[in-house]
Amino acid sequence: MKVVIVGGVAGGATAAARIRRLDEKAEIVVFERSGYISYANCGLPYYIGGVIEDPEDLTLQTPESFFSRFRIHMNVHHEVTAIHPDRKTVSVKNLQTGEVFEENYDKLLLSPGAKPVWPDLPGMDSDKLFTLRTVEDTFRIKEFIHQNNPKSAVMVGGGFIGLEVAENLRELGLDVTIVQRPKQLMNPFDADMASFIHAEMRKHGVKLALGYSVEGFAEKDGGLDVLLKGQPSLHADMVVLAIGVTPEASLAKEAGLALGMKGSILVNDRMETSIPDIYAVGDAVQVKHYVTGEGALIALAGPANKQGRIAADNICGGDSRYLGSQGSSVIKVFDMSAATTGINETNARKSGLDVDTVILSPMSHAGYYPGGKLMTMKVVFEKETYRLLGAQIVGYDGVDKRIDVLSTAIHAKMKATDLKDLDLAYAPPYSSAKDPVNMAGFMIDNISRGLKQWHLADASKLPRDGSVTLLDTRTVGEYSRGHIDGFMNIPVDELRERIGEIEIGKPVYVICQSGLRSYIATRILEGYGFNAYNFAGGFRFYDAVMNDRALVEAAMHCGMDK
């Protein structure tokens, strides 16, 4: 059997090695357009920032090492220009010599990846404008910084690459501004959770221009002006464009393969395309979202590697299936970690799901053990069924651990109420006897048993005409340092003695700093016959989100975010 693989990074290299492990006699030929195979895309921003010092550390394998171990021919600087399914060949161009030839195959695997979105805007030909997708892109940015010593940079786009590059450029001492059309960074997160990411970026001196549309670029004063719709232009010594990626599926389209959303390659759960003996994996394919069951494009290394293994199994006569992608991911944002899995509240509602959320702010480990830090967790679940749909966490320690537990729970199709029953490891330096994931389960279990919540979206709608009671149960000192207008203050420890101050028959909307004391107050009120609602997230959460919204709006109307 002869297998030809197009693309030698995550999915392609994984598939090649797996095929060899399963079939020692197979002839395996890989064509990679760039000069590198099996490299660490996710590490590229950290090489720019100097965290990774040796460029060789980015390359997991070389063509020579791959051949030495697997006897697989890795042909770099070779571009596959056409697929001929009728005669089972591909046309290949050697980019160094210009030679063009055809290569035959028994099985063909496409792993072309995705390419950066490159909009048709004025000034896109500037040598001060960069994207980051390949090792060559990284070296180009690194060389520009070394030769020109830029003092300022604009990042266009606020996704994973945008934030990672912004952080690394900032660590190099550059003045950095992130510009993007949405009013939040990191769209996998809900806007309320993104507020904490915004605060961390601002804390480290990154300016945010959210809700701004880029209309082009213009060379000026030795740098580049970023032209903004309805706003003064931004000037910088360099600009990095990271507004997303699109599937690299031109080969598949020209060969007549069925295509999916945004021109991606359609595959089944065996990673087979619409033409026999042709498989496809990685960022170029449309997958099923594991939670919604809908088509999705999820450009992450983990799914690409799994798909490469599954395709290899099936090429070698097996029957492996890809169950879908959850989009589980984590990102370092200076000192903070931010992680997500499944779907967020925004997308769940867009999908027509009737959802609820719990928001909590637990410590990363036992409060009595030194060094514990707060994290903020948001868990999304379906009403009535309590199906676990997704989670987001931002914090400084233990974030990745909890998101992986929640990701596993979603994959196992656990109910959100089942989180309370998980038996998770505990020692004071690592967790609490009630782990944050358990705590989320306890909260959702309470809701399933009748506890009522109110949410941030309700805050502005609550009547101030006396028809409801608005109650803040924090201490007098906490209340005096900031509170929501219209809320009376009775500390929770005084509530039983002062219960007469709350009018019988009116609903009571309760808040505290993190949600714990207001929960206790809600139970007390229920015990006295009141109809009480606990605020999801606490005043800390409310204050962070509202402050962020004010800063974003002020920046849009009064100038750049500071």
Active site residues per annotation:
42
**Whether 261 contacts 288, CB under 8 Å:** no
- The count of other CB atoms within 10 Å of the CB of residue 244 is 16
* Core vs surface per residue 19-40: b (16+ CB within 10 A) or e: bbeebeebebbbbbbbebbbbb
**Whether 134 contacts 36, CB under 8 Å:** yes
Instruction: Report how far residue 390's alpha carbon sits from residue 409's, in angstroms, rounded to the nearest whole number.
Output: 10
What's the token pair of residue 321?
């299936």
Helix ranges (DSSP H) in 98-189 = 135-148, 160-171
> Which of 5, 10, 59 is CA-nearest to residue 32?
5
- Across the beta sheet with 278-280, the strand order is 73-76, 27-32, 2-6, 107-110, 278-280
Instruction: Report how far residue 40's alpha carbon sits from residue 132's, in angstroms, rounded to the nearest whole number.
Output: 13
* Core vs surface per residue 45-70: b (16+ CB within 10 A) or e: bbbbbeebeeeeebbbbbbeebeeeb
What's the distance, CA 530 to chain centroid? 41
Instruction: Report how far residue 90's alpha carbon sits from residue 252's, in angstroms, rounded to the nearest whole number.
Output: 11
What residues contact 480, with CB distance under 8 A and at least 6 apart? none
